[in-house]
A = this chain, B = another copy of it.
């Protein structure tokens, strides 16, 4: 398998492999993350993204908007990101990475039945990143991020709990139960963000746990009509 260097400009490297042109990202001898200029540029662009999403929503943003708001040359943008979708994706990944860090920190020997503490930490993290979270999870945000967040919740603190349950006793498919709970959690988070975060992360976690354990209907005091099984016929 041969690889020919085809072209080499400032920070761009192109290969031809098997007759196909392949663009292989960026070219640099030094450590990418050291240079202050890079960090500054990226920070400016991500800040600009946030501001502009608040102003007009992601769909209406152009790369020109971003670089103008960030006070950066438009060409510089393309030195770091492919397009505005790439910028969004990488901003999202940063948030998810933060979540994953949270996860490794949180597994302590003291908490075996630790779902509530997990939840509190999650709400705290969201509060710390409220501005971006509110946007990305809001009505003009990115539904793909919702999926990522739900998947994170599922693998982190729900799957574990569910694994411990007695599957045979489940009268509903586990996948639906999962979809129900993760989405419910997400919905409460969204509402919390939209309504200006009037409650503390502790209160929110407690609320969510209560509903999950006692059930929405029980908590609302609706006991008069237990659901009859009309799924069979």
Question: A-side interface residues toward B, CB under 8 Å?
Answer: 59, 85, 113, 115-116, 120, 137-144, 146-147, 150, 161-162, 164-166, 169-184, 186-188, 190-192, 195, 200, 202-222, 224-231
Give Cα A154 to B230, complex, Å: 23
Contact A183 B188 (CB under 8 A): yes
- As for how many copies of this chain the complex holds, the number is 2
Contacts of A180 in B (CB 8 A): 184, 187-188, 208, 211, 216
Contacts of A147 in B (CB 8 A): 139
Give Cα A165 to B179, complex, Å: 26
* A231-B213 CB under 8 A given contacts A113-B225, A143-B143, A175-B191: no
Contact A165 B116 (CB under 8 A): no
* A177-B138 CB under 8 A given contacts A210-B171, A230-B202: no
* A212-B215 CB under 8 A given contacts A176-B188, A206-B230: yes
Chain B residue nearest in CB terms to A218: B215
- What 8 new A-B contacts, CB under 8 Å, besides A161-B220, A212-B227? A59-B59, A171-B210, A172-B210, A178-B191, A180-B184, A184-B187, A202-B231, A213-B227
Contact A187 B144 (CB under 8 A): no
Contacts of A150 in B (CB 8 A): 187
Contacts of A139 in B (CB 8 A): 143-144, 146-147
Contact A183 B176 (CB under 8 A): no
Chain B residue nearest in CB terms to A163: B220
Give Cα A216 to B225, complex, Å: 18
Point out the residue from B179, B207, B225, B226 that lies within 8 Å of A173, measured CB to CB. B207
Chain B nearest CB, measured from A11 CB (Å): 26
Contact B227 A210 (CB under 8 A): yes
